[in-house]
Amino acid sequence: MEVPLDESLRGEMTRWEAAGLRRTLGTGERSERVDFASNDYLGLTRHPRIIESAQQALADHGVGGRASRLLGGGCILHEEAEEKCAEWLRAETALLFPSGYQANLGVIGALAGRGDAVFSDRKNHASLVDAARLSRARVYVHNHLDLQELECQLARAGSAARRLVVTEGVFSMDGDAPDLVRLNELCSTFDAWLIIDEAHSVGILGPQGSGVWEECAVEGENRLAARIVCAGKALGVSGAFVVGSDELRQHLIQRARSFLFTTAPSPAIAGALIAAIDACKDAEAERRAVCTKAKELAHRLDLTEPRGAIVPWIIGDAGKAIELSERLFDSGFEARAVRPPTVPDGASGLRLVVHCYNSEDEVDALARALSNTNVHVRTARQNVAEDIDRALFVAGTDTGIGKTVVSSLLLTAARRHGPAAYWKPVQTGEDSDSLSVRTLVNATNAEVLPPAWELPLPASPHAAAEDAGIILQSERLEEGLQGLLRTLIDTRLIVELAGGLLVPYHLDPVRMQADWLERAHAPLVLVARSELGTLNHTLLSLEALRARHLEPRALFLVGEPHASNRQTLDRIAHVPYIFEVPPFTPLDQSALEAWCQDHDLEALFRP
């Protein structure tokens, strides 16, 4: 029977609430608390000249944008603001969008499409993530600030028509910054173009607050395609400029859908922006105050020095982050908890933001309040992303294709370098893959972990669970994995999935194995059969993985070697490694050892 919409929404809300992830809207009014939360870094939201400029714009041009810019909306102030912004950032042109979110959707969508490749830092803002996804380009996600991984991905994407590397200037949650000189070099080497979202760097860094790009000394070829200046942060207004060449602006006017199909921002915004850019350029002392106090706060909390105003205090658990933010609120501080989906699972915490108007005493009081909390703090670099990198999932294009043999090979290779374990979270059917692995590699009890669920029916997990009268709760798998990674310190964990990649755990709501992989953002390898039919199955599985922003670290082709399949996949699968695993006769530990002797699997365990 159909569940009424509101009832199902209430059910979802209850689950969010239980996980400490429910959000509520405040009134938006400033609280009496000391502001360590807003993005009003320079206090410009209340700047008298900016307010006056907005009022004048309202009086001269009216309230509304009237229509999209292409259909006659906006006014002369929009162009004036754009020219001012371009001049400030020493670029040819700028184009004003109603918000940073729309600017990012617009610029990435206009520059990348099917056949192109977008390279995105794992910690990029949601607007950049969504933009990359919507563009239909192939998306490569690299670990945060991991330029080695980025380099490998760029090297693999040689056949893409256009390559865009997308980063934030200062990361909005972690407060750190990429090495732009190196990024520019990589773009130059691999014929890629750089897009920098300067939301949290403009106004804070660079000459006259013109951002991180202006601050760095790029040598050789300049590969910058666009910068995005989100005006709702240091500028204290709203909207966002995409800054770049004249050709870029013309292109955006033709192609950026989030510019084309939206009403022009109010003249009040454009008027405010004109004054805000002047005020921001002049705010040298305020900029210095923000950076000095942010560094002081980080130093007091024993955290890595931030690049700008953002000091992350990562706790891990969402509930604890909320509790701490509430406790601080009661002590007179406004410091917001950040939780999934803003940050990855297990990386919840407080995003502390320092402003020019926070006094030294206030910074001192906050540091003391936090030092007294007794909450175990993980630094940004110690977050769960690192834990998950000790896991390696083994997914398959189908059932019965050799995942267990590949898992045994991986366990054989992994245990040469230290502790390693195998886990089959969901076992269906009477045969036990855990037992096979155990026998094959002569593993100890500690090396083969018991499944979370053993279901006798040889069927898809959802059907086997139904048959056994239970519900497979995928959240329990997530918790189980996190628990194992936390307790098995320094252990590499090989996780074998059940059946093919898209088999469901349950149908209501639909949850597939691949959804779990996506949520965990887990490192994985894909196993396929070697013979006829594998091209279609393998390429479909790769599409399904890539639709979830997952890149396998390797493809294993199991069975009698097939020359043309291997060659075709070499050319079009774009995976870093393809291994062929022939039928072993006999299939025993020494055969696996011998295979591992000839094939270096070590790279598969490294992020």
Ligand X SMILES: Cc1ncc(COP(=O)(O)O)c(C=O)c1O
Kindly list the residues in this chain that would bind ligand X in the complex (CB under 6 A). 99-101, 104, 125, 127, 168, 172, 197, 199, 230, 232, 240
Residue closer to ligand X, measured from CB, 112 or 441:
112
Q: Smallest distance, Å, CB 604 to ligand X?
A: 32
Q: Which residues have C-beta within 8 Å of that of residue 475, sequence separation ≥ 6?
A: none
The residue number with the shortest CB distance to ligand X is: 100
Q: Choosing from 123, 125, 537, 562, which is the catalytic residue?
A: 125
Is 281 among the residues known to form the active site? no
Residue closer to ligand X, measured from CB, 89 or 401:
89
- CA angle centred on 327, ends 293 and 290, rounded to 5°: 10
Residue closer to ligand X, measured from CB, 104 or 513:
104
> How many whole angstroms separate alpha carbon 555 and alpha carbon 568?
13
Is 39 among the residues known to form the active site? yes
Which SS3 state, helix, strand or coil, does residue 96 take? strand
| CA 208 vs CA 96, 215, 283, 285, 403: distances in Å | 20, 10, 8, 11, 57
Q: Choosing from 144, 233, 403, 537, which is the catalytic residue?
A: 233
Q: Which residues pair with 454 in a beta bridge?
A: 427
Is 386 among the residues known to form the active site? no
Residue closer to ligand X, measured from CB, 101 or 333:
101
Q: Which residues have C-beta within 8 Å of that of residue 362, sequence separation ≥ 6?
A: 34
Q: Smallest distance, Å, CB 102 to ligand X?
A: 7
Residue pointed to by tokens 């006017």: 253
Q: How many helices (H) and strands (E) does the chain have?
A: 23, 23
Cβ 187 vs Cβ 222: under 8 Å: no
Is 125 among the residues known to form the active site? yes
Is 398 among the residues known to form the active site? no
Is 197 among the residues known to form the active site? yes
Residue pointed to by tokens 């972990």: 449
Cβ 99 vs Cβ 199: under 8 Å: no
- DSSP conformation letters of 409-430: HHHHHHHTTS-EEEE-SEEESS
Measuring CA to CA, which residue among 391, 409, 370 is closest to residue 597?
409
Residue closer to ligand X, measured from CB, 142 or 529:
142
Q: Choosing from 40, 82, 116, 168, which is the catalytic residue?
A: 168
Residue closer to ligand X, measured from CB, 43 or 236:
236
Q: Smallest distance, Å, CB 240 to ligand X?
A: 5
Q: Smallest distance, Å, CB 40 to ligand X?
A: 12
Q: Smallest distance, Å, CB 238 to ligand X?
A: 6
Q: Smallest distance, Å, CB 496 to ligand X?
A: 38
Is 168 among the residues known to form the active site? yes
Q: Smallest distance, Å, CB 123 to ligand X?
A: 10
Residue 408 has, within 13 A of its CA and on its CB side, a CA count of 26
Q: Which residues pair with 230 in a beta bridge?
A: 240
> How many whole angstroms separate alpha carbon 287 and alpha carbon 280?
9
> How many whole angstroms separate alpha carbon 322 and alpha carbon 350?
8
* Encoded tokens for 108: 């990435």
Q: Choosing from 149, 197, 214, 362, which is the catalytic residue?
A: 197
Known catalytic residues are 39, 125, 168, 172, 197, 200, 233
